[in-house]
Structure 1
Amino acid sequence: MTDKPTQVLSCRQARDLDMVAYLAWLGHTPARIRRQDYWYCSPLREERVPSFKVNRHLNRWYDHGMGEGGNLVDFALRYHGGPLRHCLQELAHCHLSPVLPRPVAAAPAIPAPSLRVVARHSLSCPALCRYLQQRNIPLEVARRFCIEVTYQLYGKRHRAIGFGNDAGGYELRSPHIKLSSSPKSITTFCRGSHQVVVFEGFLDFLSWQHLCPQADPCDAMVLNSVAFFARARPLLTSYRQVYLYLDNDAAGERCTRQALSLGAHVSDERPRYDGEKDLNDWLVHRGTELRPRA
């Protein structure tokens, strides 16, 4: 007896599937539940404080750290990296049930986060400097590319290391938070080179600056989230050589496969720090130069 072929879903059918059930199928469980709001550590990026919310009534998600949200199809495109047909096939394989119909008038928009940048300074906060020291990032390297940002979130002010992106927003890091201010985007450093090094997060970029100070000058790109690979893709095709320093996890693997499909000019550099989750973890735990290229 042959297996019954998987039904092809339309976008309308897919976006009505149960978002919470799909996250459970992927292996993600909520850190806390408050009425209709299910809070998770983001499936789209690394974090320790849950900031990814699914409203069960609306069947919609919002990632407060990324400043992005939407329906299940929007999530699948970011999680799997597209194309749309592949994402719809992935959703069909799960055999999920749709959520119960809901009145259109009862669907208010999920509010945007209240994070607001209120001040920018040179890096000097002792707690932030200690955090950089714990991550083995020299302060002089961090000060070349980062600033100290004071931001307000839900009425309270905090300080964080700020790494600017090309759209004017910031990636924000401290010992306790991993957030971003709007607008969210990639960060590029263009020096007119035909080569580019690509990183997932800015701590990996700073680690590379410290580990490879004698490297030939080349362009650099920080995705700030693998969800932005589609935005970076057209730019990557313009280089003769692309060196990928992405994470050794499922999201990094998916993004690396997409990038390698661009052609032989794309190189996966993860074997140089194999055994560690990312380049910064290599610096923290090994503290030595990277393995030579094979």
Structure 2
Amino acid sequence: MEKQTPSFISWEKLREIDLVGFLASIGYEPAKIKGLNYWYRSPLRSEKTPSFKVNARLNRWHDFGPGKGGSIIDFCLEYYQRDFQGIVQLLSGQTSLPKKEFPEIPDETPLILVTGEKPITSPALLGYLKARGIPIRIAEEHLKEINFSLNGKSLFALGFKNDLGGYEIRNQFFKGSSTPKAVSSISTGHNRLSVFEGFFDLLSYLTLRPEIKWPETDYLVLNSLSLLERSLPLILDYQAVSLYLDNDQAGLKATGYLLGKSRIIQVGSVYYKGSQDLNEFLVSRRPKLRVSRKVRLS
């Protein structure tokens, strides 16, 4: 007697299907693996640089190009453009659908070209970190000293890598970023997330954490508030989220936007009320490290 496939599979069971394994079954292998994060060239569009991430612990995906993400069900709805019934048939093995193919796109030539990276040794950069109140041991865990060219001129700075391989670039006199522009996510295996605007705020949090008794969490550095909306699926995948955004008009607007999206959002900027951002708060607690406001704390 032929075995019958159940006509109904619960939503919860469908969501438990391993997404990494499913992608492999339709012909997609990760371009790189960083801890629990599997990076792919997006199955949903044509691209050169991998920007489609699957978190194996959460079993969730996020495509940083269009800013979409979710469960395996959300992926199949996007990928196959079928209705829910068709997706149930697919995931229950009643139907099979082929891998889609997208044409490759050419590389873009960035204005800022990173030409090399190494551990931080420059006295100027070490002094800049000290002025910003960041211990070298914490900086070394997240930053590199990079060489880059800007319109043909060779320069060096601190570099903070994002999820797509681009850099946020800072020194005492320069603030910029290389392409591709993206957020920087750091997974430490927690179900709680801390969100920052810039990497100096993340480093300030890590510096202050033992003193203020902040918890260990996963971390998301937006690198630009313009990337906030497309990061929403990633943010809302956590059980609790704390925001450490700037106390300026843009930061307060972004905080209000996220508070309206979910009850899991908590406002961490109350800790540094009266300071523009978390790094300014850190520096203010260490008077001997204060630097001229001519160099913007960002």
Report the TM-score, using the length of structure 1 for normalisation: 0.58
Q: What does residue 146 of structure 2 align with?
A: 149
The answer for the alignment partner of 1:163 in structure 2 is 160
Amino acid aligned to 2:224: S
Q: Using the alignment, how far apart are the partners of 1:279 and 1:209 within structure 2?
A: 11
Deviation at residue 154 of structure 1 after TM alignment: 1.2
CA distance in 2, matches of 1:267, 1:168: 29
Match of 2:229 in 1: 230
Query: In structure 1, how many angstroms separate the alpha carbons of the residues matched to 2:179 and 2:110?
Result: 9
Q: 1:184 aligns with which of 181, 186, 189?
A: 181
SS at match of 1:119: strand
How far, CA to CA, are the matches of 1:197 and 1:243 in structure 2?
5
Query: 2:274 corresponds to which residue?
Result: 275
In structure 1, stretches of 5+ residues that fail to align are: 1-110, 289-294
Aligned equivalents of 1:226, 1:112: Cα separation in 2? 24
Which letter does structure 1 place at the counterpart of 2:264?
H
2:192 to 191, 195, 219: 195
Q: Give how far 1:216 is off.
A: 3.1
Paired residue for 1:125, among 119, 122, 127? 122
**Matched residues, number:** 178
Partner residue in 2 for 1:218: 217
Output aligned runs, 1:1-294, within 5 Å: 114-213=111-210, 215-287=214-286
How far apart in 2 are the matches of 1:254 and 1:227?
12
**How far has the Cα of 1:113 moved from its partner?**
5.3
Structure 2 counterpart of 1:142, which letter?
A
Change (3 A) 1:263 1:187: same
Compute the displacement of 1:115 (Å). Answer: 1.1
Superposed CA offset, 1:28-50 (max 9, x none): xxxxxxxxxxxxxxxxxxxxxxx
Task: Look up the equivalent residue of 1:198 and give its one-letter code.
Answer: V
Deviations 1:129-162 (A, max 9, x none): 1110100101111000000010001111100100
Q: Quick check: 2:209–2:215 contact (8 Å CA) kept in 1?
A: no
User: Per the alignment, in what secondary structure is the counterpart of residue 228 of structure 2?
Assistant: helix
Q: 2-side partners of 1:221 and 1:174: how far apart?
A: 22
Aligned residue identity for 1:225:
S
How far apart, CA to CA, are the structure 2 residues paired with 1:281 and 1:265? 27
Q: How far, CA to CA, are the matches of 1:216 and 1:152 in structure 2? A: 39
Superposed displacement of residue 217, structure 1: 2.5
- How far apart in 2 are the matches of 1:263 and 1:240? 10
Letter in 2 for 1:223: L
Residue in structure 1 matched with residue 27 of structure 2 by the alignment: none
**Given that residues 193 and 220 in structure 2 are in contact (C-alpha distance below 8 angstroms), is that contact kept between their aligned partners in structure 1?**
yes
Deviation track 1:194-222 (CA, whole Å, cap 9, x = no partner) reads 10000000000000001003543210100
Distance 1:114 1:240 in 2: 39
Counterpart amino acid of residue 142 in structure 2: F
Provide the TM-score with structure 2 as the length reference: 0.58
Q: Secondary structure at the match of 1:130?
A: helix
Deviation at 1:112, TM superposition (A): 7.1
> Structure 1 219/246 Cα, relative in aligned 2: closer, same or farther at 3 Å?
same
Give me the whole-angstrom Cα distance separating, in 1, the residues matched to 2:270 and 2:111.
Answer: 40
Deviations 1:230-262 (A, max 9, x none): 121001111110000000001101111111112
The answer as to whether partners of 2:185 and 2:220 remain within 8 angstroms in 1 is yes
Q: Matched residues in 2 for 1:122 and 1:193: separation? A: 28
Corresponding letter in the other structure for 2:198: G
Task: Tell me if the contact between 2:196 and 2:202 (Cα under 8 Å) persists in the aligned partners.
Answer: yes
